Structure 1
């Protein structure tokens, strides 16, 4: 199962267009998670206490962990997130906080190191930017570090089109080149 996490909000999102081109090249059932449609709980002391108690009780079937269970079971993960303000949309950060669950997506070894519990062997991070993506670590690098260090997903790829809004840039040509360069 391919899990497609869509952090795009614009109807004609260039990031979504790039992600759709990737999905056309992948084979398998696709499950969509449209972050714009999710109302994440506000992180409060009450929320954190409830979450910690559920984790302590290994009550992982609670609705609170539905997104984490789905993420952990995916074979392939595609994250589509436009490059905003040196990173990605806030909804993606909220999603990450929801799926980072000790006992579902990762655990700690006796030495205190995180060990991934996710089934996926591949994660694609898809992004577009009006200007340059500088540095990659603020968006893609963050996701890559989590995937490799916490989730156990060692094969993480960046698919991007940048410089789309630079004066004189041929946005269509940049997008077409990025789409043509997608390999799976």
Structure 2
């Protein structure tokens, strides 16, 4: 898998970067947000991670480690990092009614029973994550951006599995519409960051 940046003393923000373009507008928004948050940032660039194939061998190893509580295995490094973060920023451009596939692979890697969530005796998920806020940053070329497939999915996981109630969407849309001034749209979105 990969080694991950350990959190130091104090508040730590985890930046999950699912942007692949050199001049990514989504990443530009996320960087502006990170600058405003002004905290220590641990960066995870998803394009640099070689996610393993989720085949039967992988699942058997994963299930065996989880059943033994062997969470120190490198297989769970991303999940441990996610669970330890004080705040999380996910930057993912809007692609095909959702987000890049590597973000889904990341989610599968961090969804670990015993690290990021557990089940109640009634069978409902209960979050184990430390973060009190998750920011989801996205841009889209058009204006047709239904939330349920991208942001809505991340929000549901954050609130229902990870225990992160405060989830905020930061977006700039309509960037590629003929006649749109994408620079103005991006700058207005940056200026409106809290």
Shorter chain as normaliser: what TM range?
A: over 0.9
**Equivalent residue number for residue 96 of structure 1:** 107
CA contact (8 A) 1:82 1:88 kept: yes
RMSD (Å) for aligned C-alpha atoms: 0.6
Q: Is the 8 A contact 1:83 1:133 kept in 2?
A: no
- Does residue 27 (structure 1) correspond to residue 38 (structure 2)? The answer is yes
Q: Return the TM-score normalized by structure 2.
A: 0.93
Partner of 2:72: 61
Q: Name the CA distance, whole Å, in 2 between partners of 1:3 and 1:52.
A: 26
Contact 1:105 1:117 in 2 (8 A): yes
1:31-110 aligned at under 5 Å gives the runs 31-110=42-121
Structure 1's unaligned 5+ residue stretches are none
Aligned to 1:131: 142
Contact 1:9 1:36 in 2 (8 A): yes
1:133 positional shift: 4.2
Residue 18, structure 1, aligned to residue 29, structure 2: yes
| 1:145 aligned residue | 156
1:155 is matched with 166
Q: Where does residue 180 of structure 1 map in the other structure?
A: 191
Q: Post-superposition shift, 1:27?
A: 2.5
Secondary structure, aligned partner of 1:33: strand
SS in 2 for 1:125: strand
Q: 1:31 aligns to what SS in structure 2?
A: strand
- What is the rounded CA distance, in whole Å, between the counterparts of 1:164 and 1:81 in structure 2? 15
